Structure 1
Amino acid sequence: MQTPIPFPSWPDVAADLVATAAGRAPADLVLTGARVVLVQTREVMAGWQVAIRHGRFAYVGPDASHCIGPATEVVDLGGRYLIPGLCDGHMHIESGMLTPAEFARAVIPHGTTSMFTDPHEIANVLGLRGVRLMHDEALTQPVNIWTQMPSCAPSAPGLETTGYEIGPDDVAEAMGWPGIIGLGEMMNFPGVVAGSQQMLAEIAATQKAGKTVGGHYASPDLGPAFHAYAAGGPADDHEGTSEADAVARMRQGMRSMIRLGSAWFDIAAQITAITERGLDPRNMIICTDDCHSGTLVHEGHMNRAVRHAIACGCDPLIALQMATINTATHFGLEREIGQIAPGRRADMIVTSDLSALPIEAVYARGRLVAEGGRCLVDCPHLDWPDDARDTVHLGRVLGADDFAAKAPKGAASVTVRVIGVVENQAPTEALEAVLPVMGGVIAAQGDVAHIALVERHRGTGQVVNGFVSGFGYGPGMAMAATVAHDSHHMIVVGTCRAMMAKAANRLAEVGGGVTVWRDGLELALVELPIAGLMSDSPAAEVAAKAQAMVAAMADCGCTLNNAYMQHSLLALVVIPALRISDLGLVDVTRFALTDLVVRENP
Structure 2
Amino acid sequence: MEPQRSLPPNNWADVAPRLIAVAAGRAPADLVIRNGIWVNVQSRELLPQSDIAIAEGRFAYCGPDAGPCIGPETEVIDAEGAYMIPGLIDGHMHIESGMLTPAEFARAIIPHGTTTIFTDPHEIANVLGLAGVRLMHDEALMQPINIWTQMPSCAPSAPGLETTGFEITAEDVAEAMQWPGIIGLGEMMNFPGVIAADPQMLAEMAATMRAGKVVGGHYASPDKGHAFAAYAAGGPADDHEGTAESDAIARVRLGMRSMMRLGSAWYDVESQITAVTEKGLDPRNFILCTDDSHSGTIVNEGHMNRVVRHAIACGCEPLVALQMATINTATHFGLERELGSIAPGRRADLILTSDLTTLPIERVIARGVTVARDGKGLVDCPHLDWPEESRRTVHLRRPITAEDYVIKAPAGANAVVAKVIGVVENQAPTKALTAELSVSDGAVQGDPDKDVCQIALVERHRATGGVVNGFVSGFGYKGRMAMASTVAHDSHHMIVVGTSREDMALAANRLAEVGGGITVFKDGAEIALVELPIAGLMSDSPASEVAAKAERMVAAMAEVGCTLNNAYMQHSLLALVVIPELRISDLGLVDVTRFEITELIEKTL
Alignment correspondent of 1:484: 488
Alignment correspondent of 2:574: 570
- 1:471 alignment partner, one of 475, 499, 516: 475
2:172 is matched by which residue type in structure 1? Answer: D
Paired residues for 1:98-137 under 5 Å: 98-137=100-139
Shift of 1:5: 3.8
1:551 aligns with 2:569: no
- 1:194 alignment partner, one of 186, 193, 196: 196
In structure 2, how many angstroms separate the alpha carbons of the residues matched to 1:17 and 1:118? Answer: 33
Contact 2:260 2:288 in 1 (8 A): yes
SS of the residue corresponding to residue 100 of structure 2 reads coil
1:557 is matched by which residue type in structure 2? Answer: G
- 1:339 alignment partner, one of 337, 341, 345: 341
Alignment correspondent of 2:538: 534
Contact 1:5 1:139 in 2 (8 A): no
Contact 1:102 1:537 in 2 (8 A): yes
- 1:508 alignment partner, one of 508, 512, 525: 512
1:234 aligns with 2:236: yes
1:593 aligns with 2:589: no
Alignment correspondent of 1:9: 11
2:526 is matched by which residue type in structure 1? Answer: E
Alignment correspondent of 1:456: 460
After superposition, the C-alpha distances for 1:178-224 in whole angstroms (9 at most, x for unaligned) are 00000000000000001101001100000000000000000111011
- The structure-2 alpha-carbon separation of the partners of 1:211 and 1:349, relative to structure 1 and needing over 3 Å to count, comes to same
Shift of 1:520: 1.0
Alignment correspondent of 1:406: 408
Alignment correspondent of 1:581: 585
Paired residues for 1:513-524 under 5 Å: 513-524=517-528
After superposition, the C-alpha distances for 1:304-335 in whole angstroms (9 at most, x for unaligned) are 00000000000000000000000000000000
Contact 1:13 1:54 in 2 (8 A): yes
Alignment correspondent of 2:36: 34
SS of the residue corresponding to residue 243 of structure 2 reads coil
Paired residues for 1:315-354 under 5 Å: 315-354=317-356
Contact 2:155 2:167 in 1 (8 A): yes
In structure 2, how many angstroms separate the alpha carbons of the residues matched to 1:498 and 1:74? Answer: 64
Alignment correspondent of 1:279: 281
Contact 2:9 2:347 in 1 (8 A): no
Contact 1:236 1:255 in 2 (8 A): yes
After superposition, the C-alpha distances for 1:421-461 in whole angstroms (9 at most, x for unaligned) are 00000000000000000111110012000000000001111
Contact 1:4 1:139 in 2 (8 A): no
SS of the residue corresponding to residue 269 of structure 1 reads coil
In structure 1, how many angstroms separate the alpha carbons of the residues matched to 2:479 and 2:287? Answer: 43
In structure 2, how many angstroms separate the alpha carbons of the residues matched to 1:491 and 1:83? Answer: 42
SS of the residue corresponding to residue 270 of structure 2 reads helix
Q: Give the share of equivalent positions with the same residue, in percent.
A: 74
1:450 is matched by which residue type in structure 2? Answer: Q
Alignment correspondent of 1:355: 357
Shift of 1:406: 1.1
Shift of 1:4: 9.4
1:525 aligns with 2:529: yes
1:401 is matched by which residue type in structure 2? Answer: E
In structure 2, how many angstroms separate the alpha carbons of the residues matched to 1:342 and 1:261? Answer: 32
1:108 is matched by which residue type in structure 2? Answer: I
SS of the residue corresponding to residue 231 of structure 2 reads helix
Alignment correspondent of 1:48: 50
In structure 1, how many angstroms separate the alpha carbons of the residues matched to 2:10 and 2:84? Answer: 23
After superposition, the C-alpha distances for 1:486-516 in whole angstroms (9 at most, x for unaligned) are 0000000000000000000000000000000
Contact 1:87 1:114 in 2 (8 A): yes
1:291 aligns with 2:293: yes
**TM-score (normalised: structure 1):** 0.99
In structure 2, how many angstroms separate the alpha carbons of the residues matched to 1:398 and 1:426? Answer: 29
Shift of 1:25: 0.7
SS of the residue corresponding to residue 482 of structure 2 reads strand
In structure 1, how many angstroms separate the alpha carbons of the residues matched to 2:202 and 2:20? Answer: 44
Contact 2:6 2:379 in 1 (8 A): no
In structure 2, how many angstroms separate the alpha carbons of the residues matched to 1:520 and 1:591? Answer: 37
1:168 is matched by which residue type in structure 2? Answer: A
After superposition, the C-alpha distances for 1:14-56 in whole angstroms (9 at most, x for unaligned) are 0000001111110000000100100000001000000000010
Which 5+ residue runs of structure 2 have no aligned equivalent? none
1:499 aligns with 2:503: yes
Shift of 1:394: 1.0
Alignment correspondent of 1:431: 433
Contact 1:156 1:573 in 2 (8 A): yes
SS of the residue corresponding to residue 503 of structure 2 reads helix
Alignment correspondent of 1:74: 76
In structure 1, how many angstroms separate the alpha carbons of the residues matched to 2:6 and 2:222? Answer: 42
SS of the residue corresponding to residue 479 of structure 1 reads strand
In structure 2, how many angstroms separate the alpha carbons of the residues matched to 1:418 and 1:245? Answer: 27
SS of the residue corresponding to residue 270 of structure 1 reads coil
SS of the residue corresponding to residue 518 of structure 2 reads strand
- 1:158 alignment partner, one of 157, 160, 163: 160
Shift of 1:7: 2.4
Alignment correspondent of 2:221: 219
1:88 aligns with 2:81: no
In structure 2, how many angstroms separate the alpha carbons of the residues matched to 1:523 and 1:426? Answer: 27
Contact 1:238 1:259 in 2 (8 A): yes
After superposition, the C-alpha distances for 1:255-301 in whole angstroms (9 at most, x for unaligned) are 00000000000000000000000110010000000000000000000
SS of the residue corresponding to residue 268 of structure 1 reads coil
After superposition, the C-alpha distances for 1:126-185 in whole angstroms (9 at most, x for unaligned) are 000000000000000000000000000000000000000001000000000000000000
In structure 2, how many angstroms separate the alpha carbons of the residues matched to 1:41 and 1:404? Answer: 63
Alignment correspondent of 2:272: 270
Shift of 1:6: 3.0
Alignment correspondent of 1:306: 308
Contact 2:6 2:369 in 1 (8 A): no
2:127 is matched by which residue type in structure 1? Answer: V
2:122 is matched by which residue type in structure 1? Answer: H
Alignment correspondent of 2:145: 143
**TM-score (normalised: structure 2):** 0.99
SS of the residue corresponding to residue 420 of structure 1 reads strand
1:181 is matched by which residue type in structure 2? Answer: I
Contact 1:258 1:270 in 2 (8 A): yes
In structure 1, how many angstroms separate the alpha carbons of the residues matched to 2:443 and 2:7? Answer: 58
1:513 is matched by which residue type in structure 2? Answer: G
In structure 2, how many angstroms separate the alpha carbons of the residues matched to 1:252 and 1:7? Answer: 35
In structure 2, how many angstroms separate the alpha carbons of the residues matched to 1:4 and 1:224? Answer: 49
After superposing on structure 2, the runs of 4+ consecutive aligned residues of structure 1 that deviate more than 4 Å are none
Contact 1:28 1:54 in 2 (8 A): yes
